[in-house]
């Protein structure tokens, strides 16, 4: 089973990136997509996609191909001003016209330093995904509160409960 995991934060010491990298450590079937910042700014003029061919920018074509090849797509989002990040929204805009995410089982994680865990960005992301995808695995979703107390400065998950939650998430994906 191929699992593609994407962090919606491009910050060097991002907790969301640490989470998707931990999923990869727990399960070698997980590939972490690390080119979010290299996707061009969404422009429908450049979104030259038909079911027969994709003449959109190279990074976009590659991004769509990675999602298409994956059995499951996992997105971990930060929350900025109660919203998902701009870079994540940009990436998702490139998926709207493509069929790559329509039937893809997709898991949403949010992680924030706040006690709410980015719940508003989480809800926003689920709502957005429901527009472009028909297969959100809501049962496997995760909201990580006070994430800075659960992941150390090396990006290691030190909180036992969070580690267990990540293991459970992977088990639910595999069911
Ligand atoms: C400009 C800015 C706005 C933020 N707004 C929110 C917010 O609305 N809700 C929240 O829970 N956390 C908020 N945070 C805290 C982030 O969730 C926190 O910095 C988190 O670690 C970012 O994710 P990352 O570690 O993956 O980069 C904000 C942080 C910044 C820098």
pLDDT in tens, 96-105: 999 999 999 9
Instruction: Per residue of the chain (175 residues), give pLDDT as tens.
Output: 999 999 999 999 999 999 999 999 999 999 999 999 999 999 999 999 998 999 999 999 999 999 999 999 999 999 999 999 999 999 999 999 999 999 999 999 999 999 999 999 999 999 999 999 989 999 999 999 999 999 999 999 999 999 999 999 999 998 8
Q: For the domain made up of 3-174, give the CATH fold.
A: Rossmann fold (3.40.50)
CB-ligand 1 contact for 114 (6 Å cutoff): yes
Task: Locate the domains of the chain by residue range.
Answer: 3-174
Q: Give the ligand 1 atom nearest the CA of 112.
A: 17
What whole-number percentage of the chain has pLDDT above 90? 98
The pick from 8, 17, 37, 114 for probing ligand 1's pocket by mutation, whose C-beta has the most ligand atoms within 8 angstroms, reads 114
Cα separation, 139 vs 145, whole angstroms: 18
DSSP 54-102: B-S-HHHHHHHHHHHH-SEEEEEE--BTTB--HHHHHHHHTTSSSSTTT
Q: What is the pLDDT of residues 28-62, one digit of tens each?
A: 999 999 999 999 999 999 999 998 999 999 999 99
Nearest C-alpha to atom 1 of ligand 1 is from which residue? 80
Q: What is the pLDDT of residue 174?
A: 87
Closest CA to 91 of 23, 12, 46, 38: 38
Name the pTM for this structure. 0.98
Tokens of 171: 């088990």
């Amino acid at each position: 089973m191929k699992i593609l995991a994407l962090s919606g934060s491009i910050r060097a010491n991002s907790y969301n990136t640490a989470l998707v990298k931990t999923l990869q450590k727990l399960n070698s079937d997980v590939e972490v997509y690390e080119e979010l910042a290299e996707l061009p700014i969404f422009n429908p003029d450049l979104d030259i996609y038909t079911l027969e061919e994709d003449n959109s920018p190279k990074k976009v074509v590659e991004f769509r191909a990675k999602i298409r090849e994956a059995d499951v797509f996992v997105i971990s989002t930060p929350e900025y001003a109660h919203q998902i990040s701009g870079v994540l929204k940009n990436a998702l805009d490139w998926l709207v016209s493509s069929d790559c995410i329509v039937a893809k089982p997709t898991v949403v994680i949010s992680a924030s330093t706040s006690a709410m865990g980015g719940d508003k960005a989480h809800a926003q992301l689920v709502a957005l995904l429901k527009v472009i995808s028909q297969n959100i695995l809501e049962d496997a979703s995760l909201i990580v509160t006070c994430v800075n107390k659960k992941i150390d400065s090396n990006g290691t998950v030190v909180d036992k409960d969070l580690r267990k939650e990540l293991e459970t998430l992977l088990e639910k994906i595999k069911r």
